[in-house]
Amino acid sequence: MTRNFLLEETINIEVKYIKFSRENFIIAGAKILEGERQGEIIDILGEIINCRVGERYRVSGKFVNNPNYGLQFQVKYYEKERPNSPEQLISYLSNLGVKGIGEKTAAKIVERFGMDSLTVILKDFSQLTKIKGISFEKAESLYQKLKEEYLFEEAFNLLAPLNLEPHQIKTLLKFYREGLIEHLKENPYNPIHELYGFAFAPFDKLARDWHFPPNHLYRMKASIVYVLKEALEQGHVYLPLVEVYNKGLALLGEGFGPETLDEGLSVLLRTGEVCLERDRLYLKKLYDAEKTVARKVAFLLTITDKKINIKKPLNEVEKKLGISYDPLQKEALSLMFAEKKLFVLTGGPGTGKTTVIKGFIELYQRFFPKNKIALAAPTGRAAKRLSESTGMPAATIHRLLEPEGETRSGELLFRYNKYEPLPYDLIIIDEVSMLDLPLAAALFEAITPECRLVLVGDPNQLPPVGPGQLLKDLLAVEEIPRISLKTVFRQGEDAGIIEVAHRVLTGDWFELERLLGERMLEDVFFLPAKDTENITNLLLKVVKKLWENYGYSPEDIAVLSPMRKGALGVENLNVLLQKLFNGFETQEVKFFGTSFKVNDKVMQIKNNYERGEDGVFNGETGFIKKIIKSGDEEEIIVSFDGKNIKYRKTDLEELTLSYATTVHKAQGMEYPVVVLVLHNYHYPLLKRNLLYTAVTRAKKMLIVIGTTWALRQAVENIKEETRYSSLPERLGGVFKKGDLVEREG
């Protein structure tokens, strides 16, 4: 055991049992192998990826006395030790998770090759086929898994001290494979250019450790690209050049002036990684996306059709549908058949957007019975709702475009594009407020000049998670035909919810407080609670009552929170709600601390176009129907709207529990019951558009649990983050005409 001047200690341990694990965080019982505490069993806690019973580690950290659990060792850094006995080697091989390599087979391998087993597998795995029961395929699977383990350990030992998360190291390995270290040695900043979601500091430290000079061109280039990618994650399409320089220089530290970034910018412009227009600096992909949308929108506005008089057929449609459209709705329908190929319909809940769309489809099919119509929305649940309300098939935008592959950095490639456009004469897109710029560009690029496009949305909801603000930008351009529906017609079981949404939208706190305080609404309830523990306990009581007394299932109930982390974050709430709804279930698969059980409500958190026949995309929710265990292999079957999708254990990084979700993730979805938690510590996110989005997810009942201050703050805070976008200016002609829109074709 050693002690350094920072009072950190390094000890050698063997893991005896694992008490708790979530994601990469573990609490395990471990035996100290040497020093004055040799033989003691203590709790170790910290982030140790793929931690298994029987493995040995050299861990650095410090001892702490926990008042409830006694002496513990907090792990800051660790190195996994190679097995140094036949018993350890058998345990290691049998716990790698390779199908068909259990303890008996591992013992056969060690019996034949001894302590050289790992070397034999890595150098010539075909030698394993000499052992009865080991096929070439099984031997190759063991080789691939062992190779992955070694690559990860090598990368982890290099990168973990730089504060890179284990999942980030996995991402790097997936991208660079065995060439990771060589790529980093060539240019430590390569991941900042080629991937998303990585900080500047870890690779900057790596460059310093490898003696790259602080004024190296690689460093200048990376600082600029990092600033732009950070801006993308905040929703910006570009940044003013002066802001890029200010933030870039802050990254570089003292002793650098603007001239030091000039050479880096010059190279980036020359290689096409970034684009500069006036004083606005873009990542190339966002620059191209913005110009694509501008070009296609402008083109749709220049192509004119003969205006159709809908007065007489509209009367017939009203009789058929049992609807009487008001003057503004009739104007919207008329504009949909006007000369322009593009139309935007907006409105809040209950204003009749769906009613107008149903009438439009009915009219369109009368005028053009042979034309093809497509309906789509950004999320699966929104598409399902659109289909149910119109009686026509609807798809996600991803499925409409049909993903066929992806780039090395994970960006989807679609079958339908400018070379093979979508075969539709009319496309209707719902929930356009969720549509980010890159996906919008892919959609617009795939639309033919003959196609009519109708965009539907609510501009008062949250902006998209990704960059851009398409709906807001389009509404800023006067030339684009649009109608905003204002009158609320729906007076059904969600009348109170609509009333609350209206009060939130107008910022009328005092009237909202009166309505909630006097319990004047049948479908909306505010349950005040001060601290996080009280809110959590009240939440669990409410959800249990909804489930047991009112018959609402986990599918019907959405528990929403502004944040992922914290006591009232969705990660913690999901654990508590899983215990409430599904605590009795024993069939489970554990994956990095998350327990997935039969009947659990889950959400896909990554786009995967290869999963199932049509792919499964970010935000789709389903239920675990079955767990299959065969030998060492574990698989789960998830049902997404009746489609059963298989996941291996290693694929479970694509899923998360979904009893609770963030407000942003719930956008585009509707639920019979929404339970929203709000607390003062949510302060950074307590804004009117977030509250409005949460409220409008509810169809039958809305329950808000939290502090009065947090609710009032959300109602009155109208501050919205400004997103840098040039789309309105491109379309509005602020730039010179030649710069505004390129000609189609």
- Distance, CA of 506 to CA of 520 (rounded, Å): 19
In the chain, the amino acid numbered 181 is I
Place of tokens 């290689």: 271
Answer for the pair 208, 215: CB distance below 8 angstroms, yes or no. Answer: no
Backbone φ and ψ of 556, nearest 5°: -85, -25
Answer for the pair 24, 593: CB distance below 8 angstroms, yes or no. Answer: yes
Answer for the pair 239, 192: CB distance below 8 angstroms, yes or no. Answer: no
For residue 159, CA distances in Å to 156, 194, 215 come to 5, 17, 23
DSSP type of residue 161:
G
Answer for the pair 335, 345: CB distance below 8 angstroms, yes or no. Answer: no
- SS3 letters for 119-147? HHHHHCHHHHHHCCCCCHHHHHHHHHHHH
Copy the structure tokens of residue 590.
């554990």
Residues 6 or more apart whose Cβ sits within 8 Å of residue 281: 224, 228, 238, 239, 240, 241, 244, 265, 274, 275
> Which residue, among 293, 371, 328, has the nearest Cα to 729 in the 3D structure?
293
**How far is the first Cα of the chain from the last one, in angstroms, to the nearest whole number?**
71
Measure CA 40 to chain center: 43
Measure CA 353 to chain center: 28
> Which residue, among 75, 82, 53, 78, has the nearest Cα to 149 in the 3D structure?
82
Which of helix, strand or coil describes residue 702? strand
Answer for the pair 45, 64: CB distance below 8 angstroms, yes or no. Answer: no
Backbone φ and ψ of 162, nearest 5°: -90, 5
> Any known ligand binding at 350?
yes
Secondary structure element (H or E) that encloses residue 53, with its range: none
- Distance, CA of 337 to CA of 310 (rounded, Å): 8
> Which residue, among 604, 668, 716, 229, has the nearest Cα to 462 in the 3D structure?
668
Answer for the pair 577, 543: CB distance below 8 angstroms, yes or no. Answer: yes
> Any known ligand binding at 352?
yes
> Any known ligand binding at 354?
yes
DSSP type of residue 256:
-
Output the CA angle 683-23-206, nearest 5 degrees. Answer: 85
Copy the structure tokens of residue 706.
């939290």
Copy the structure tokens of residue 172.
């790097």
In the chain, the amino acid numbered 62 is K
Backbone φ and ψ of 671, nearest 5°: -135, 150
List the beta bridge partners of residue 560. 661, 676
Answer for the pair 97, 145: CB distance below 8 angstroms, yes or no. Answer: yes
- Distance, CA of 425 to CA of 452 (rounded, Å): 6
> Which residue, among 291, 239, 248, 283, has the nearest Cα to 409 in the 3D structure?
283
- Distance, CA of 522 to CA of 550 (rounded, Å): 15
For residue 115, CA distances in Å to 86, 141, 143 come to 7, 20, 16
Known binding positions for ATP: 350-354
